Amino acid sequence: MSQRKLHDLFSPKSIAVIGASNRPLRPGNVVMKNLMSAGFNGPVMPVTPKYKAVLGVLAYPSIEKLPQRPDLAVVCVNAKRLPEVVEKLGQFGCKTAVITAGGLDDELDDKGQPIVEQLTQIVQRYGMRILGPNSLGLILPQIGLNASFAHADAQPGKIAFVSQSAAVCTTVLDWANNKGIGFSSFISLGDALDIDFGELLDYLSRDAKTQVIMLYIDSVKDTQRFMSAARAASRNKAILVIKSGRSSLGAQAASLHTGGLVGNDAVYDAAFKRAGMLRVKDLHELFAAVETLTYANPLRGERLAIISNGGGPAVLAVDALMERGGKLATFSPQTLAQLAEVLPSTWSGQNPLDIVGDADPSRYAKALDIVASSGEADALLLMHAPSALAGAEDTANALIEVIKHDSKARRLNILTNWMGEATAYPGRVAFTKAGIPTYRTPEGAVGAFMHMVEFRRNQKLLSETPSTTDEAAVDQNAKLILQQALERHTYVLETHEAKPLLQAYGLQTIDTWLVHDVEEAISCVNQIGYPVALKVQSPDILHKSDVHGVSLNINNQQELVIAAESMLARVQQAYPQAKVEGMILQRMALTAGAQELRVAVINDPVFGPAIFLGEGGSEWDETKDAAVALPPLNMGLARYLVISALKAQKIRDRRLPNGLKMEALCSMLTRISNLIIDCPEIARLDLNPVLAAGDNITLLDVNMRLQAVDARGAQRLAIRPYPKELEEYCQTKSGNRVLLRPILPEDEPNHLAFDSSLTEEDRYKRYFGARGQMTHEEMALLTQIDYAREMAFIAVDELAEDDRAILGVVRASIDPDNLEAEFAMVVRSDLQGQGLGKQLLQKLIRYYQSMGTQTLSGITMIQNRGMAGLAKHLGFRVKFELEDGVIEMHLDLQNKDQDEAN
C-alpha cells in the first residue's frame, strides 16, 4: 500500500460526504457541520438522494453525479451498503475514504458474503486507502479540516494523536481543549482494515508539523511494519503510547473491540521499549507525559533536585522517586555551603532542600540559582505548599521571571508542584501559560519526571553500542534433530534429546540419560555414580511437579528403587492415560554457591517469539514473574534484559559465592536468541532451572516444544534479525579475500576508524562538503540499521587489525512503498582501484532486485567522475547537472537486461 496515496488523506483539496443528512445527531449531519464550521477552503459535496441540500449546501443524488472527483470521501452509510458505495467511489477515481460504520466483523451482505472481505478486495482493485471502519474520522487543524463526527474541533499544535478507540479520541479532545493543547493531526484509526499504525507512523515521522506522536492501541496487526516504523520515528520524535488490555480480561475485551489478536501485555511492553517509545498506564498519565515531553529539554542525566517549602511533601516526592527507580541528586560540600549562606539555619541541609515554610520568592530564586550553577542536578522539582507568608500565585510569577531570565536555570528541566486547590490553582495556571510543566501532587510531578527518565533510557537503548559473543559456526547437522523429530510426529524434546542442538549453540546442559525401568536405572547409576536426580519422562505431563515427578539427591541404590517405584505409582494414579516413556537420570549438579534461574521462550500471537527471564518456580506466571525481551538479542540488549529483571526484582542477586555474572548471563541469553532465530521449528522452550555459577551456566532441565514450520521464516519475528544468509566472499584485483556482509551494531568502533581513515578529498565527495569526525549518535544511526527498511554492506578484511578491518561500504535506504532505494558508497582511499566498489554496488543491486524494488538511485558530486563511470558501466542512467554541481544516477532494477548485466 502506498504512502503517496496517504497524501490525499492528509492534504485533500475536495471532500464528499456520502450519506450526508439534515437529521440532527446522525453521523452524516455531524460530519457536515464539522466540515462547514472548521474552515476548510475546498469544496464540500454532500451525497444523498433524500435532500436537495444539506445545511444549505447543494447535495448530489449519487456519487456518479458529483461534479468532480473528491480527494477524500467520508462514508456515513450503514454496513450493508458499504461494498456498493466503496465500489462506486473506486470507479469514480476517489483514492481515500473514511468509513464510520462499525461492527463489520460478522456482517454479511444480502448474498451471505462477509463485508470485510469484499471491502478488502475493492480497495486492492482500485488502489484506494481506507481509514476505518468504525472510525470517528480525522481532524487536521492546520488546514481547517474536521472530517469527523467528534463533538468538538481541535486546536492547531505539534501533537499527532492516533487512536483505535473513538471514545478515547473524544476524551483526549475534551482534555486538550481544556488545557489549550493543540494537534497537527487527530486520527481515529478504528478497526484498521487498511491503514494501520505502522503506515501512519511512517507518514507522521516525516511530517514537519508534528513534534510528538501519541498512540492509543488496542492491538497491533502488522508487527514488523509497526516495530520498523516506530523505531525509525522514535529517533527524532517522542512517541507516547497507551495500551489497553494490561490484564488478561482487558486484553480479551480489547480483542473484541478491534478484532485483533490477544497478545501478552508484558511482550507489548518489551516491544514498546525496544522501539524507543514511552508507555503510560492510563489517560491521566498520558496527559501528564504529553505536557512534560512537550515542554521539556532532552534530559542529560537522571539526577533530580527538589526544592520545597515543606519537609513532608518533599519526603513524599522522594518516596515516589525511589519506588519508581529514580535517582536523587547528591550535592557536593561546596554547593551545600553556598546554600547554607542564603537559607535559614533550620533548612534541611541536603537534597531534598526544605527551605522552610516562610520561604518567599527571593529565597526560592537564590536556591534555584545555586542548584542550576552547580551542574550536580539534571532536573529540578519546585514544590510549594499553601502558606500565609508567601502566596502561591505571587511565588509562581516571581519564579517564572527568574527562570525566563536565568540561562543556567533554563538548561535544567524544571517541573513544579503547587499543592492545594483554590489558592494553588492560579499558580498552576501561570506555570502552564509560561510553558513550565505543573502538577497537583508530589507523586504526579515525580511520575512526570520518571516519564522523561524512561523515555531517555529507551532512547539510549536505540543508540547503545553493543558488544558481541564469541560466536562459533553452528553445526548445521544439529538442526536435523528438529526435522527428524517432526517427521516422526514427536513434538516435545527433553534435555537428553535437545542436548546436541543446545551444545551446537554453546549452551551447556548437564549429562542426562533416559532409562526405561528401575533395573536400567540401577545399571546406569552404577556407571555414573551417586548422587543423582530422577525425573519422570512423559510427553503428557507438562509440569513434573504436579505428580512429584522429580526426586533429588538420591545417594544409594535403596533410595533410587524407592524413588523410582513411588514416582511411577503416583503417575499411574494421577494420569492413568499418560504415556510414560521412562525416567530421566542426571548427575546432581553442584548447586552450592550457585543461583537458580528460569528462562523461557514463548511464541506470542502478536509479536512472535519472546524471551522471558525470571526465577521460576512451579507457580510461575511469565507475565508477572519475568522480564521480557524480543529477539534478536546482542550482548547490549541482553544486558538491558538482565538489568530490567534485577531492577523489577524478577530475579534477585543473592550475592552467592558463585552466583550471577553479567557477562555469562548475557552470553547465554544471546545464544538462546540465535537458536530461536535459526530454528522456527521451536514453538516453546522452557529452561527450568538454569544454574548460574559465575562463568558456568548450566541448563538442568530442558523442555522444547516443536511446531510444523510454515513459509514465514524470519517473518514470524517482530524485528528482522541480522541476515546472515547475505554474507559472501569476494577477491580484490590483488587477490586478497574479502568478506561482503551486512553491517552490524557492533561495527561502530571499526566504522568510525574507517570513516576517519578517508582522505579529506574522499570525505568531501562523500558528504558534499567538509565535515568533522562523526559523533557516537551519528555512528549509531549508520551501524544500528533496520534491515527491514535499509541496507548497508561492508567489505571486511578478516585478517586485518580492527581499526583497518573495514575496507568499504555501500548503503541504501528505501521509501515505505518499496519503489525507490537511494544509495551512497565509499571505499577506503588507499584501496580504490581494487574493484571493491564494483563488487559492493553489484551486491546492493542484486539485493534490491530480490526485494522487488523498482529503482536504485544515487547522487554524487560533479568531481566524482570515478563513481559516475562505475555507475554507467553497471547500467545506470547517468545525468550531469552542471548547474547544481552534481551527477544523478538511476537504475531500473526490474529490467530483464539489467538482471543479465549483474
pLDDT attached to residue 93: 95
pLDDT mean over 218-227:
91
Measure the CA–CA gap between 796 and 791, rounded to whole angstroms. 16
145 pLDDT more than 50: yes
pLDDT attached to residue 261: 58
760's enclosing H/E stretch is: helix 760-767
Closest CA to 677 of 844, 487, 471: 471
pLDDT attached to residue 56: 95
Direct distance between the N- and C-terminal alpha carbons of the chain, in angstroms, rounded to an integer:
29
pLDDT attached to residue 466: 63
Distance of CA 848 to the CA centre of its chain: 26
Handedness of CA 565, 567, 570, 575 (dihedral sign): negative
Question: Range(s) for CATH 3.40.50.261 in the chain?
Answer: 150-295, 298-462
Can you state the angle between helices 392-405 and 361-374, rounded to 10 degrees? Answer: 30
Indicate the residue type of 424: A
Measure the CA–CA gap between 503 and 501, rounded to whole angstroms. 5
Q: Is the CB of residue 703 less than 8 Å from the CB of residue 686?
A: yes
pLDDT mean over 201-207:
93
Q: What's the pLDDT band for 178 if we cut at 50, 70, 90?
A: confident
Q: Is the CB of residue 72 less than 8 Å from the CB of residue 12?
A: yes
Q: Among 3.30.1490.20, 1.10.1370.40, 3.30.465.10, 3.50.50.60, what is the CATH number of 512-587?
A: 3.30.1490.20
Domain 1-149: top CATH class: alpha beta
Measure the CA–CA gap between 647 and 676, rounded to whole angstroms. 26
Residues forming beta bridges with residue 45, ordered by sequence position = 16
Please tell me the total number of residues recorded for the chain in this structure: 902
Output the nine-digit C-alpha cell for 390: 508567601
The count of other CB atoms within 10 Å of the CB of residue 710 is 9
pLDDT attached to residue 896: 58
Question: Range(s) for CATH 3.40.630.30 in the chain?
Answer: 724-901
**In b/e form, how buried is each residue of 63-87, taking b as 16+ CB within 10 angstroms?**
beebeeebbbbbbbbebeebbebbb
Indicate the residue type of 747: D
pLDDT attached to residue 471: 62
In tens, the pLDDT along 434-470 reads: 989 999 999 999 998 998 898 888 887 776 666 666 5
713 pLDDT more than 80: no
Of 53-67, 267-281, 404-418, 603-617, give the range with the top mean pLDDT: 53-67
291 pLDDT more than 80: no
In tens, the pLDDT along 621-635 reads: 888 899 999 999 989
**Weakest mean pLDDT among 224-238, 290-304, 729-743:** 290-304
Q: What's the pLDDT band for 1 if we cut at 50, 70, 90?
A: very low
pLDDT mean over 705-719:
80
pLDDT mean over 75-85:
94
pLDDT mean over 734-760:
92
Comparing 261 with 174, the larger pLDDT belongs to 174
pLDDT attached to residue 283: 79
Map residue 756 onto helix, strand or coil.
helix
Q: What's the pLDDT band for 783 if we cut at 50, 70, 90?
A: very high
Q: What's the pLDDT band for 740 if we cut at 50, 70, 90?
A: very high
Indicate the residue type of 739: L
pLDDT mean over 332-337:
96
pLDDT attached to residue 160: 96
617 pLDDT more than 90: no
Q: What's the pLDDT band for 296 if we cut at 50, 70, 90?
A: confident
**Weakest mean pLDDT among 3-17, 196-210, 390-404, 886-900:** 886-900
DSSP line for 465-519: -------PPP-GGGGHHHHHHHHTT--EEEHHHHHHHHHHTT-EE--EEEESSHH
Q: pLDDT averaged over the chain? A: 89
374's enclosing H/E stretch is: helix 361-374
pLDDT attached to residue 550: 85
Measure the CA–CA gap between 239 and 710, rounded to whole angstroms. 34
775 pLDDT more than 90: no
In tens, the pLDDT along 297-308 reads: 778 899 999 999
Q: Which CATH architecture has domain 724-901?
A: 3-Layer(aba) Sandwich (3.40)
Task: Let me know if 733 is exposed, middle or buried by CB neighbors in 10 A (0-12, 13-18, 19+).
Answer: exposed
pLDDT mean over 212-235:
91
Q: What's the pLDDT band for 334 if we cut at 50, 70, 90?
A: very high
pLDDT attached to residue 897: 60
Output the nine-digit C-alpha cell for 809: 561500504
Q: What's the pLDDT band for 254 if we cut at 50, 70, 90?
A: very low
Closest CA to 207 of 217, 218, 216, 199: 199
Mode of pairing for the β-strands spanning 582-587 and 532-537: antiparallel
Comparing 44 with 8, the larger pLDDT belongs to 44
Task: Let me know if 42 is exposed, middle or buried by CB neighbors in 10 A (0-12, 13-18, 19+).
Answer: middle
Q: What's the pLDDT band for 223 if we cut at 50, 70, 90?
A: very high
259 pLDDT more than 70: no
Q: Is the CB of residue 470 less than 8 Å from the CB of residue 631?
A: no
251 pLDDT more than 60: no
CA angle 270, 272, 273 (to 5 degrees): 65
CATH number of this structure's domain 298-462? 3.40.50.261
Residue linked to cell 504512502 = 3
861 pLDDT more than 80: yes
Mode of pairing for the β-strands spanning 595-604 and 682-693: antiparallel
Q: Where are the beta strands (DSSP E) in 619-669?
A: 626-629
Question: Range(s) for CATH 3.40.50.720 in the chain?
Answer: 1-149
What is the third-level CATH fold of 150-295? Rossmann fold (3.40.50)
Measure the CA–CA gap between 462 and 524, rounded to whole angstroms. 52
pLDDT attached to residue 10: 95
Q: Is the CB of residue 601 less than 8 Å from the CB of residue 672?
A: yes
Domain 469-510+589-721: top CATH class: alpha beta
In tens, the pLDDT along 825-851 reads: 999 989 999 999 999 999 999 999 999
813 pLDDT more than 80: yes
165 pLDDT more than 60: yes
Residue linked to cell 497491533 = 220
pLDDT mean over 79-95:
95
Measure the CA–CA gap between 438 and 445, rounded to whole angstroms. 7
Q: What's the pLDDT band for 768 if we cut at 50, 70, 90?
A: confident
pLDDT attached to residue 751: 93
